[in-house]
Amino acid sequence: MVIEHPKAVALTRFFQRLAEVKDLPEDQLREPMWDAASELFDAGHDSAREFPGLRAVPDRP
């Protein structure tokens, strides 16, 4: 059984979405990429709640 981390899934979707829209004009890129970035951001917050002891950057002394 494979359990996929929500942040990894969101990151994969972000890059898939980027590949789908890469040839669109800039004014048409904003909405789909904003949605993908928001999903990635939300997944990061969900991970922080799920694993409160993990930090991306260690505390400085």
pLDDT value of position 52: 53
pLDDT value of position 12: 85
pLDDT value of position 10: 81
Domain contains 61? no
pLDDT value of position 45: 63
Residue 15 corresponds to which amino acid?
A: F
Domain contains 59? no
Domain contains 55? no
Reported as a single tens digit per residue, the pLDDT across 4-45 is: 777 788 888 888 888 888 888 888 888 888 887 888 787 766
What is the domain range of residue 46? 7-50
What is the separation of C-alpha 29 from the centre of its chain, rounded to a whole number of angstroms? 17
Domain contains 27? yes
Which pLDDT band holds residue 50 (cuts at 50, 70, 90)?
Answer: low
Domain contains 20? yes
Domain contains 16? yes
Domain contains 60? no
What is the value of pTM for the model shown?
A: 0.55
Domain contains 12? yes
